[in-house]
Structure 1
Amino acid sequence: MTHLMSREELLTHELERLRAEHGDLDAAIEAMQGNPLSDQLAMRRLKKRKLALKDQITRIEDELFPDIIA
């Protein structure tokens, strides 16, 4: 039997994927920062991608866990 994922399940799965990619980028950037011969343009691109991922992560978290203002 095929199980169709709910929107929440899809968002949760996407959130996990984005968090993993964000962590991978963080590790790559850290490794590049420790190497004086690192490609600065490549590092800037990784940092830009990391920021974009953070924005996506925040957007999904806000949808999954909205703030309840009382």
Structure 2
Amino acid sequence: MSRVSALALGATLYMPCTRADLADALHGAKRVPGLRSARLCLDNALLERDLPVALTWAFGIPSFRANAKFW
């Protein structure tokens, strides 16, 4: 994997994991052109009752599943 300068990243796209098109927005047909940095929100943008759905959709994205870190 090539390294990207922090200056070349630009703005980070902040996305709640309750989006039904989450995987498509990151890797599919709806991908934002030039997207280099995205933050998947599982906390303050969600209602507690939506957390199971958000986790299901987030873990459906291979790159999220491979890089997920929990503290």
Structure having greater relative contact order (Cα 8 Å, sep ≥ 6): 1
Normalized per residue, the structure richer in helix is 1
- Largest Rg, 1 or 2: 1
TM-score of the superposed pair, with normalisation by structure 1 = 0.30
TM-score under structure 2 normalisation?
0.30
